[in-house]
Amino acid sequence: MSDPTTHVLLIEDNPGDADLVRLRLVQGKTPVEVDCVNRLADGLTALTAKTPSVVLLDLNLPDSHGSETFRKVLEKAPGVPVVILSGQEDEALAIKAMHQGVQDYLVKGDITSKHLERAMRYAVERQALLRSLEMSRKQQLEFKNQFLSHVSHELRTPLTCIHQYVTLMADGLAGPVSPEQHDHLRTVLKSVNQLHAMIRDLLEAARAEAGKIRVERRCIALVDLIEHAVAMLQPLAQEKRVGLEMGMDTRVPLVLADPDRILEVLVNLIDNAIKFTPPDGSVMVKACLAEADTEFAYVSVTDTGRGISPEAIPLIFERLYQDPNTSDGNRSGLGLGLYIAKELVNLHGGRIWVASQPGSGATFSFTLPLYSLAKLLTPVIVHNGQLRDNFILVRVTLTPFSRPPRGNWRDTCRRCLELLERCVYIDKDLVLPAMGTAGPAETFFVVASTDLERSNIMMNRIRGQLEACPGLKDGGTLQVNAEAVVLPSSQKARSGAEQVREVADRVTEMIMANLGCKQNFTANGD
């Protein structure tokens, strides 16, 4: 350390105690500079202005008492060492504070300059040690991720070669293949695919741990995703002679979720269910509104396999967990699938769990937040308890110039959405989440609290911003138009919530008409 001076922030309201501590500090061998304040609020301000080497803190101040005092200081300056100056009567509290991140405490009557100097020095050292520990933990995590990324790359190269030559043979491009040989090649290919999935899971789990998974929420029909997942896995189920069925609630829930990620979760759960179900058993996928919580949709995958032991249930979503009783020749994989599924569901704000009776199957369930237009709209269309006067529905359509789109079209759409969000007033306009799975043409809708005339300004702003977006400039077209949301005249007499629902319903109808409607967006019964 280049500056030998110890900067002390003394937070102490008793002038006598403050003077005494100051005296002891000055008497010590290390050069010190002391700032003294007598209220917590002033202490917190001082911490923002300048980071001291150490804080000496009295717990009972005019504006704060007891544990609240040190909690606020630690919250404000988590990296600064804190030493508590306690009275005889609150020594117990000071000890408790040490468990919560305070470095040391001194009892006021017993403070000598030697004591004080030593306590401060240790506090500073310990804090530095903690910091370097935290840093090395982060470095290790980073190293692990780099290592996994490297390993994954190195494994993919030979795997690609195996995959290519096996498919060449299986497709008959290297000469005729007998049915038996073809069978063997298919077995090889199946193992190649398993290996591929493991490499993918390894990276994905590392990413989940590092908090690097990105979720793009869209308004999606859960039924479409489930149908997609079931269709993907139907061949596997048939091969194993396991029945795979769906049971959907008639009020099919629309959810706010990333379709790719949720498909991943569904495929994982259904694939597992098929894997652990014996021939002639069945797997049932269900979706409905959650009974306990009306803001969530509920999805479950039930199998008729041998179930999960009670000991395994709390561990099953842990990383690298593998069922020790797997003995029926199933290759269980890395034990990362359910961990990734849990992380993905949690990222959506949902919950995942399992229920099972050993011997009679298992049910994996998860929840996802419902898409509710009324809920999204309320904060922007209601002002001071009153519905705003006019609403406009602005439609922004992005179409790629060529098919397939040149460059990363999804990235272009993502960037356009970000730009779009900058073109509106966040307190009175709302860019709605995109609808359905991402397709080649992307349509965004904005509900704006303005009238048709003034909406021209907004539309021009949108055009100006989006036209300059690089991905769109050289590979797509942009269409922006607006339509007034006309409400039935009866609205005045209704309650606030009903008015919002009416706007939401009207907007929904208009969106459906705009999209040539495939889906019923009122299905959630807002």
Partner 1 sequence: MSTEHKNAGQNMTRAKILIVDDDPDLRKALKLRLRANHYDTVHACDGYSAIAMAQKEHPHLIILDLGLPAGDGYVVLERLQDSDALSSIPVIVLTARDPQTNEERSFQSGATAFFQKPVDNNELLEVIQASLQATSARANRLPS
**Which residues here bind partner 1, judged by CB under 8 A?**
149, 152-154, 156-157, 159-161, 163-165, 167-168, 170-174, 192, 196, 203, 207, 212, 402-404, 406-408, 411
Query: Among candidates 227, 229, 207, 261, which has minimal Cα distance to 438?
Result: 261
Smallest gap from residue 196 Cβ to partner 1 (A) = 6
Q: Kind of pairing, strands 386-387 and 296-303?
A: unpaired
Smallest gap from residue 214 Cβ to partner 1 (A) = 9
Judged by beta carbon, residue 23 or residue 161, the one nearer partner 1 is 161
Question: 280 and 296 in contact (C-beta within 8 Å)?
Answer: no
Smallest gap from residue 207 Cβ to partner 1 (A) = 8
What are the tokens at 133?
Answer: 């520990």
**DSSP label at residue 11:** E
Judged by beta carbon, residue 243 or residue 407, the one nearer partner 1 is 407
Smallest gap from residue 419 Cβ to partner 1 (A) = 16
Judged by beta carbon, residue 261 or residue 306, the one nearer partner 1 is 261
**DSSP label at residue 64:** B
Judged by beta carbon, residue 115 or residue 156, the one nearer partner 1 is 156
Half-sphere exposure of 185 (CA within 13 A, CB side): 19
Question: 392 and 425 in contact (C-beta within 8 Å)?
Answer: no
Smallest gap from residue 470 Cβ to partner 1 (A) = 8
Smallest gap from residue 153 Cβ to partner 1 (A) = 5
Judged by beta carbon, residue 167 or residue 378, the one nearer partner 1 is 167
Judged by beta carbon, residue 186 or residue 518, the one nearer partner 1 is 186
CA–CA gap between residue 355 and residue 19 (Å, rounded): 64
Angle at 366 between CA 363 and CA 369, to 5 degrees: 155
Q: Kind of pairing, strands 6-11 and 32-37?
A: parallel
Smallest gap from residue 301 Cβ to partner 1 (A) = 26
Total residue count of the chain as it appears in this document: 526
Judged by beta carbon, residue 122 or residue 165, the one nearer partner 1 is 165
Question: 313 and 343 in contact (C-beta within 8 Å)?
Answer: no
Judged by beta carbon, residue 402 or residue 456, the one nearer partner 1 is 402
Smallest gap from residue 34 Cβ to partner 1 (A) = 50
What are the tokens at 445?
Answer: 């809708």
Q: For tokens 């309201």, name the residue.
A: 13
3-class secondary structure, 19: helix
CA–CA gap between residue 353 and residue 368 (Å, rounded): 13
Half-sphere exposure of 128 (CA within 13 A, CB side): 9
